[in-house]
Chains A and B, each alone.
Chain A
Amino acid sequence: MKGVTRENIISLLEMLRESSIDEMCLQSNHLKFRVSKSGKKYDSDTAEVISETSDRQEQLLPVKAPMLGFFRRSPLAGAAPFVSVNQYIKENDTLCIIHVLDQQNILKADFRGYVRQIFPSDGEMVEFQQTLFLVEPVDNTVGGVS
């Protein structure tokens, strides 16, 4: 829905008025449009502009915590992290350590791609199956780490 015109919006509103639908939300890559017949108000932040990256966002694969434990981004306190945002990773690269009391569980990548997001902060407890990273795979044929 690139290049929405005034006419587009007016015809949409007319369609809504004549229908039995009370509320509708339309979303594309660049625009989020939400109207309601009940006079419900929306905060400006719910009508956020969807960024250019949303197409890519959908292709990102989550890397989830295989166990509950403490998330460590680097091998030692103060050391450089294993991975940073936008870093390229390949199979068997260490992503993080999940610390469970005396055990250090090393979490490795099993596909190639670019790390686009890291959710937990260093030292935070992560739950079983909590998403730790979002990775943009360079080869779509492989699945995510679970």
Chain B
Amino acid sequence: MNFPISRVLVANRSEIAVRIIRACQELRIESVAAVSEVDRQSMSAKMADRVVCIGPAQPIRSYLKVDTIISAALGTGCDAIHPGYGFLAEQPELPEACEKYGLIFIGPNAENIRSMGDKLFARRMVAALGIPVIPGSELVRDESEAKKAAVKAGYPILLKAAAGGGGRGMKIVKRAKDLKAAFHEAAAEARSAFGDDRIYIEHYIPDARHIEVQILGDRFGNIAHLFERDCSLQRRYQKMVEESPSPVVTDELRNQMCRAALLIAGNIGYLSAGTVEFIFDQKEQSFYFLEMNTRIQVEHPVTEMITGIDLVQEQIRIAAGLPISFSQDDVIHSGHAIECRINAELPDSDFRPCPGKIIEWEAPRGDNIRIDTHCYPGYVVQPYYDSLLAKTIATGRTRAQAIENMQQALAGFRVSGVDTTIGFHQFILQNDDYQRGYFNTSWIEDTLLEKYGQRI
């Protein structure tokens, strides 16, 4: 069979654009970097075989324009588009437009994205498969419906946007008297973030781990899992550190979660790379389906490092119509991997983003270190986009070794010109509770931030 992809339009920026271009190079596929005006000098622009300027800096006028992205692909002779994560990655309109104009979308089909993008539909579908979902409600239209649903779900509760993601539009309510204000705030936030103010209610699990399972599906109906990632270290629902395997997941639990993830993905005929997210209640030792992300995720390198499987290359091969290149039995996890997301933010100032010009940029190197980045000396961190500078991935035979290697890696960074979260990550890594694996999704905000503020 002829490989039908010879040139890929990379419809994204930053480290993920670099990551995709590298995968293309390894597969001997040409790449075209679609860049906004301020990204003309970016690393992905320098690496790609061709660069095409799609619009001004504001994403709404460049990276988020389906028509422009399609035109850029057609005009540069691309046969496929890789959306990366964020921007258009989970907009069903892009794979639909690709199909209409004879382009290959490197990702799931529009139906996969739609069914999982509707969080309530996903909940119902998963519950029907006999997989536990967090006790909660259907949509609540007003305050009085919210009150009833909250009692039914049981306080504390979480208000969530039906169209949500990334923690926006989410509010924890511990007591009934706080519900009214929180409900209106959540609806307003959901309206401004997603243009959709529909809210539903879920029981809130205080001592929770965020555990997710990486899956891959192909056009032949094969679905494989690549084990779990523990992404419990979050601040305002933004992941900061991820690792695999999870220190709290037993073999039996891993088996159950991975089987559940396969069942969910298989049920919707899932194509490409995706992630099934679960909440693990540490007190009750039970897990619940949270949502499915229909894209390659930021933290995918953690899985790549413990399985040796290149997920972006698999995505491209699957999009080209090939089967998954391995069978489930071939997937073995060996060792431990941790990822720290290094952002251009000021931890001492409530993690305020600090865009600006990077003067000095030296990233650590080593056998047990992987750096996914788009930064270089002289690169200007733009204020229009997220503040991720680099993903630092450290591996080790054991978790303790991986932690040690990560500490060495973090100490090896030389960065000036912008503030970074490196120091905060070092603070996490040296913490006893972290080292013992004792933490949950609110640990950073409830415990660690205060300690960080008091450090000498």
Contacts and interface: CB of A to CB of B under 8 A. Distances in A.
B70 interface: yes
Contacts of A124: 75
Contacts of B52: 68, 125, 127
B74 A68 contact: no
A100 B74 contact: no
Nearest to B74: A125
A46 interface: no
A103 interface: yes
B68 interface: yes
Interface residues of B, number: 17
Nearest to B34: A68
Contact of B75 (A70, A102, A103, A129): A70
Interface string B334-359: 00000000000000000000000000
Nearest to B100: A101
Interface in B58-93: 62, 67-68, 70-72, 74-76
Contacts, number: 43
B404 to A, nearest CB: 47
B53 A100 contact: no
Contact of B37 (A70, A101, A128): A128
- The residue in A68, A69, A103, A125 that gathers the most chain B C-beta atoms within 10 A of its C-beta is A68
A41 B32 CA distance: 36
Contacts of A67: 55, 68
B318 interface: no
B54 interface: yes
Interface string A80-124: 000000000000000000001111000000000000000000001
Given A127-B54, A128-B54, A68 B76 contact: no
A92 B72 CA distance: 28
Contact of B53 (A69, A101, A127): A127
A142 B72 CA distance: 32
B54 A101 contact: no
Contacts of B71: 68-70, 100-101, 125
Given A67-B68, A100-B68, A128 B75 contact: no
B56 interface: yes
B12 to A, nearest CB: 16
A47 B160 CA distance: 68
A129 B53 contact: yes
Interface in B37-53: 37, 52-53
Contacts of A129: 37, 53
Contacts of B75: 68, 70, 124-125
Contacts of B37: 128-129
Given A125-B76, A128-B37, A129-B37, A101 B55 contact: no
A65 to B, nearest CB: 9
Given A68-B72, A70-B75, A128 B67 contact: no
A68 B55 CA distance: 7
A101 to B, nearest CB: 5
A145 B55 CA distance: 16
A59 to B, nearest CB: 26
Contacts of A130: 53
A77 B227 CA distance: 56
B455 to A, nearest CB: 46
A140 B71 CA distance: 36
A2 B62 CA distance: 49
A125 B51 CA distance: 13
26 contacts: A67-B55, A67-B68, A68-B52, A68-B68, A68-B71, A68-B72, A68-B75, A69-B68, A69-B71, A70-B75, A100-B67, A101-B71, A101-B97, A101-B101, A102-B67, A125-B71, A125-B74, A125-B76, A127-B52, A127-B53, A127-B54, A128-B37, A128-B54, A128-B62, A129-B37, A129-B53
Given A67-B55, A70-B71, 5 more contacts: A68-B55, A69-B68, A101-B67, A127-B54, A128-B55
The 7 nearest A-B residue pairs measured at CB: A125-B75, A127-B53, A128-B53, A101-B67, A128-B55, A100-B67, A68-B54
Interface of B: 37, 52-56, 62, 67-68, 70-72, 74-76, 97, 101
Interface of A: 67-70, 100-103, 124-125, 127-130
